[in-house]
Structure 1
Amino acid sequence: MDSGQRRRPSASPARLALLALANGLVLLVLARLLWPGDAAGRAPEAQPMAGAATAGAAHDATAVTHALPGARPVARPGDRPGGGLSSRDAAAERAGGAGASGELQALAPRLRAVIADALAEARAAARAAARPPAGEFTVALCVRQRAAGGGAPQTLAFSADRALAPASNMKLVTSAAALVALGPAWQFETPVELGGPVSAGTLHGDLILRAGADPFYTRPAPAADGADRAKRASGVNGAWASASQEGALAPHLAPLLAALRQRGIRRIAGDIVLDEGSFEAPGPAPGWPGEVQHVREYCALAAGFSANGGCLNASLRPGLPGGPATVSVQPAAHGLEQQIAVTTGALRSTLRVAVEARGGRVLVKGSLPADVSLWQARCAHPDPVALFGAALCGSLEEAGMALGGSWRRGSPPERGPPLVTLTSSLAACLVPINTDSNNAVAEQVLLALGRAREGVGSRAAGARACASILEQLGVSAAGFIQADGSGLSRNNRVSARQLVALLDAVMARGGTTAHEFRASLALAGRTGTLAQRMGSGPAAGRVRAKTGWIEGASALSGLVEMEDGRRRVFSILVSYPRIQGLNRRVWKPMQDEICGILAGEEEG
């Protein structure tokens, strides 16, 4: 105490006893209100998780939320200050966690222990960091299992109502909402019109295209799953012919080329006019990574027009050691200055190749080992509309069409005579979105959904449409925030309970909608972002899910298909201070272990 302060008089023993009695009564009343215990057949309060409490701090055992010692929790939209449970949350945790009935109740202690172990490891990593990060660790889990014979479903929940950043699990919302709102047979449409008369093989005017947000994207062959593909020499040289054409726009333009030939058009005297209509100009969403990352594939922009999902594909194969490597960039006509400087390194040398497009240039440089027969990577184009325009002109000229002008943005007020409508299916986008986690394709779908439902091709309109579909499916949109379609934004918020309710509602619809949605999810140990996870044990081949990660957020949500034909729907969301490597070392193994337990892994 400071020497200048007046010392308070000591309390009498009688007064202290009265104060203690009053405090005890208050605590008893609060305990009866918030934790009713065993009365009236209610489930008993969950026991604290082993190792969950730290010295000098009490942590709610069911919340599975831990603040770093001395750290200030980071406030986020939809979060409660301090990260504790409200009385409403506590009641929900009792009903869905320790109070879950049947099989899920039996699993609760094991799941809680797995989460507690992961939290302990994460907190130890935080303490060991040179600069301990501020923030809190939160693990949210929700599991729902429908009862046989159509009875009430069982639900198990830990912190399931916390609105957290879902990372790429936001793609589940985007894809499910589009499927339900538009239908699995819905197609992107890009109308093409003639802007003048046709005579003597010449279109005397412009060729006009109206935007439809089609990503014009073809998924690579399954062998190319992942961001990059590197193959050591093993007789795969025949793959070059197809690999070097991945990302080309020409295959999508076959109906247009056929229609031009049918009309006898060999020359377009005017320009190729791209009318973006109500679609917003391409740009990053609020909460996206900084500009330095905008060249990365995951930051590819969306717009009313795009090609190859707004990206450039680079395919490389080696030459003789010391000589140049062969490089293919698709779409080949991309409107940028191209600088290629890749040499062939010695056998078993280090692969160092950079691929980026910025400042009006696409640059591919580095060294490719002589025994890597094929290597591929993607980077974002600065402007998807410009990429589409350049690729369209290049494809037309390659097909023998003479162009009197170039491409340009424009909004011709009057409709010209229709020539053809380019189409592609929504269903074809679902696997790239949910199995491969392609951000740009998800963003294109969100724009298309916004235009179809709200009349405006913007992220905001798409988000309103998604929220409306959640309500239509009986999923509360409370606390739901959607800043983009892919989950790249840090501003997104959704709860594990909302994701489980959404997945359950979509699957309950049955028919083609449920079939397409289920088929779009990565399969544990087999495909997409789960190809290298849960490759053995009961989860292998029986967990279909969407992964998600951005710095500070990790997620896995999907379906566990039991051997007896029943299905468990689950969502695991993690929010944590940014500690390098924590997702790989802690959260992914935790998620995989949880899935193994849900899939029927025996204890011990």
Structure 2
Amino acid sequence: MPVRSFVSRVGAPGAALLATAAVAAGVLTGHGDAAAGASAEPSSAPSSSTAPLPPPPPVVTPEQRIASLLPQRLAALHLGSRASVVVTDVDARSEVLAVRPTARRLPASLSKLATTVAALETMGPDRRFVTSVLLAPDGTLVLRGGGDATLRTRDLGTLAAQATAALGAHLTARRPVVVDDSVFAPPTLAPGWPRSYYRGEVSPVRGLVVDRAASADTGMLAGRRFAAALERRGVQVTTVSRRHTPAGSTQVASFAGLTLAQQVKAMLQVSDNDIAETLGRQVALAVGERPDWAGAERARASVLARLGVPLDGVTLRDGSGLSRLSRITPYALVSLLDLAADPSRPELSSIAFGGGLPVAGRTGSLRPARGRFVTAPSKCATGKLWAKTGLLRDVVGLAGYTRSTDGHLQAFAVLVNGSRSTLALRRQVDGLAATVTGCW
């Protein structure tokens, strides 16, 4: 359910709360029109009668508490225009709070929410990507990648076992191995990526990867490991090289990897950049775009627009959030979360309810070892909140879900740009999220 017309700006719920309290205070103190009118007439009741009980204090809903308290706590951080916060009541389909909701912000890894929604919407949670082995007419064995970013060395062993069984009496022949990872366009740096990202942040995006290894050439790494698995089974491998699958090749083995829902969970828990970029290419293929940076960007935008996500001010140049050129609005982030929690869209439910998002103080990028949800203000939210983190050197973001004290599901996004991404700032953002749960 995208954020739509239920817009109540900062202070509106809080102002209503204060006005209610003021009316109540007038009744209690005898001030105000009603009290003045009552005191102008002499009392006809006997002097021994009991005075009427004062009315009960106004009931403050969890949503009113959030709308009143969260802006105060945000202001106390002195972040000014660098911070945005949006909270919606998913169950009531209403907006609770919006502080600078349309500001264009660097999203960091919160971009992965958009990548995930686009992938699940396009391909469904049960989609698997297939890696195959083909026998060329000249006896070459071709390892052909299908864009499975979670392929493991043991899966290559499974493929080698299938292939050797298919070779039968020709098992001992000397054979070259060819790697075909051409399902995606050749790798290049994304717009807004410095080359330094290839040293630890992300690998060049290829259609064949093994063990999520950081490698300059993941395809050839997979080819060498496949060749080693063949040799353990008696095949004499002469060379390992890269080229397209020769015409007339026949399939002798295949392996279907994790489901898309499982891949999404693996990506979101630890914010895996390689899975995110691979899924971006898969979305491009699924909608008929070229599987490169521009095609993935167009595909992602077209899917999100069809879902009704507000894309004014949104530019996502990659799938992982590493690009310095990407921008997103907090409204768009909460719209993605609302969609994922919509019961009419079960294909997206693995985001909101499938255990993919890190749990505060327990799992993934929000576990205590990362210093998250361990302070006095935020520790009370342990286990009560699940959210995606977003971090760059000058970005701190947190977007996800919690249940308020009345049991309503709340979606929230907190995004800070332009301040150093210190542990102290991350913990302050944790405190803002704990305010949404109602425990602080």
Smaller-chain TM-score bracket: 0.7 to 0.9
Structure 1 stretches of 4+ moved >6 Å: none
Matched residue, 2:202: 299
Match status 1:257 vs 2:198: no
Structure 2 counterpart of 1:400, one-letter code:
G
Shift of residue 491, structure 1, vs aligned partner? 1.1
Distance 2:145 2:383 in 1: 40
Shift of residue 161, structure 1, vs aligned partner? 0.7
Matched residue, 1:188: 129
| 1:130-154 Cα distance to aligned partner (Å, 9 max, x none) | xxxxxx9510111110355xxx423
Match status 1:583 vs 2:418: no
| 1:353-378 Cα distance to aligned partner (Å, 9 max, x none) | xxxxxxxxxxxxxxxxxxxxxxxxxx
Distance 2:337 2:157 in 1: 35
Shift of residue 211, structure 1, vs aligned partner? 2.9
Distance 1:415 1:474 in 2: 45
| 1:488-542 Cα distance to aligned partner (Å, 9 max, x none) | 1111111111010011112104535303553110001110100112256441111
Mapping for residues 120-269 of structure 1, pairs under 5 Å = 138-148=82-92, 152-196=93-137, 204-217=138-151, 249-264=153-168, 265-267=170-172, 269=174
Structure 1 counterpart of 2:349, one-letter code:
A
Distance 1:421 1:96 in 2: 55
Match status 1:410 vs 2:243: yes
The count of residues paired between Structure 1 and Structure 2 equals: 380
Distance 1:119 1:271 in 2: 63
Distance 1:308 1:411 in 2: 23
Residue 467 of structure 1 aligns to a residue whose secondary structure is helix
Matched residue, 1:386: 220
Match status 1:308 vs 2:211: yes
Distance 2:352 2:208 in 1: 25
Q: 1:256 touches 1:422 (CA, 8 Å); kept in 2?
A: no
Shift of residue 549, structure 1, vs aligned partner? 0.6
Matched residue, 1:104: 63
Structure 1 counterpart of 2:105, one-letter code:
L
Structure with greater strand share of residues: 1
Q: CA RMSD in A?
A: 2.5
Structure 2: segments with no counterpart, 5+ residues: 17-60
Match status 1:286 vs 2:194: no
Pick one of 300, 323, 326 that aligns with 1:489: 323
Structure 1 counterpart of 2:348, one-letter code:
T
Distance 1:299 1:503 in 2: 26
Structure 2 counterpart of 1:215, one-letter code:
A
Distance 1:256 1:480 in 2: 45
Distance 2:175 2:233 in 1: 18
Shift of residue 256, structure 1, vs aligned partner? 4.1
Distance 2:130 2:227 in 1: 19
Structure 1 counterpart of 2:131, one-letter code:
T
Structure 1 counterpart of 2:430, one-letter code:
D
Give the 3 Å change call, closer, same or farther, for CA 185–537 of structure 1 in structure 2: same
Distance 2:146 2:12 in 1: 49
Distance 2:392 2:352 in 1: 23
| 1:36-95 Cα distance to aligned partner (Å, 9 max, x none) | xxxxxxxxxxxxxxxxxxxxxxxxxxxxxxxxxxxxxxxxxxxxxxxxxxxxxxxx9983
Residue 441 of structure 1 aligns to a residue whose secondary structure is helix
Distance 2:366 2:422 in 1: 14
Structure 2 counterpart of 1:411, one-letter code:
H
Match status 1:526 vs 2:439: no
Residue 188 of structure 1 aligns to a residue whose secondary structure is strand
Q: 1:459 touches 1:485 (CA, 8 Å); kept in 2?
A: no
Distance 2:250 2:6 in 1: 62
Distance 2:352 2:194 in 1: 29
Distance 1:592 1:463 in 2: 31
Shift of residue 553, structure 1, vs aligned partner? 1.2
Matched residue, 2:29: none
Shift of residue 175, structure 1, vs aligned partner? 1.4
Residue 481 of structure 1 aligns to a residue whose secondary structure is coil
Pick one of 350, 354, 357 that aligns with 1:515: 350
Distance 1:493 1:268 in 2: 55
Matched residue, 2:393: 551
Shift of residue 400, structure 1, vs aligned partner? 3.2
Residue 326 of structure 2 aligns to a residue whose secondary structure is coil
Q: 1:473 touches 1:502 (CA, 8 Å); kept in 2?
A: no
Shift of residue 114, structure 1, vs aligned partner? 1.7
Structure with larger RCO (C-alpha < 8 A, sep 6+): 2
Structure 2 counterpart of 1:158, one-letter code:
V
Q: 1:288 touches 1:489 (CA, 8 Å); kept in 2?
A: yes
Residue 463 of structure 1 aligns to a residue whose secondary structure is helix
Shift of residue 107, structure 1, vs aligned partner? 2.0
Residue 8 of structure 2 aligns to a residue whose secondary structure is helix
Structure 1: segments with no counterpart, 5+ residues: 1-91, 121-135, 197-203, 218-247, 312-379
Shift of residue 407, structure 1, vs aligned partner? 1.9
Pick one of 289, 296, 308 that aligns with 1:474: 308
Matched residue, 1:367: none
Give the 3 Å change call, closer, same or farther, for CA 507–252 of structure 1 in structure 2: farther
| 1:439-464 Cα distance to aligned partner (Å, 9 max, x none) | 11111111222122224222322222
Residue 10 of structure 2 aligns to a residue whose secondary structure is helix
Q: 2:160 touches 2:230 (CA, 8 Å); kept in 1?
A: no
Mapping for residues 8-19 of structure 1, pairs under 5 Å = none
Structure 2 counterpart of 1:304, one-letter code:
G
Q: 2:133 touches 2:141 (CA, 8 Å); kept in 1?
A: yes
Q: 1:164 touches 1:493 (CA, 8 Å); kept in 2?
A: yes
Structure with greater helix share of residues: 2
Shift of residue 111, structure 1, vs aligned partner? 1.2
Distance 1:275 1:251 in 2: 17
Matched residue, 1:129: none
Q: 1:278 touches 1:455 (CA, 8 Å); kept in 2?
A: no
Residue 168 of structure 1 aligns to a residue whose secondary structure is helix
Q: 1:556 touches 1:591 (CA, 8 Å); kept in 2?
A: yes
Structure 2 counterpart of 1:211, one-letter code:
G
Residue 308 of structure 1 aligns to a residue whose secondary structure is coil
Pick one of 274, 297, 301 that aligns with 2:179: 274
Residue 66 of structure 2 aligns to a residue whose secondary structure is helix
Structure 1 length as normaliser, TM-score?
0.59
Q: 1:190 touches 1:421 (CA, 8 Å); kept in 2?
A: yes
Structure 1 counterpart of 2:427, one-letter code:
P
Q: 1:484 touches 1:492 (CA, 8 Å); kept in 2?
A: yes
Q: 1:450 touches 1:460 (CA, 8 Å); kept in 2?
A: no
Q: 1:271 touches 1:406 (CA, 8 Å); kept in 2?
A: yes
Matched residue, 2:430: 592
Residue 97 of structure 1 aligns to a residue whose secondary structure is coil
Give the 3 Å change call, closer, same or farther, for CA 276–116 of structure 1 in structure 2: same
| 1:105-142 Cα distance to aligned partner (Å, 9 max, x none) | 4322321122222226xxxxxxxxxxxxxxx9510111
Distance 1:515 1:93 in 2: 26
Distance 1:308 1:473 in 2: 33
Give the 3 Å change call, closer, same or farther, for CA 422–479 of structure 1 in structure 2: same
Distance 1:573 1:181 in 2: 27
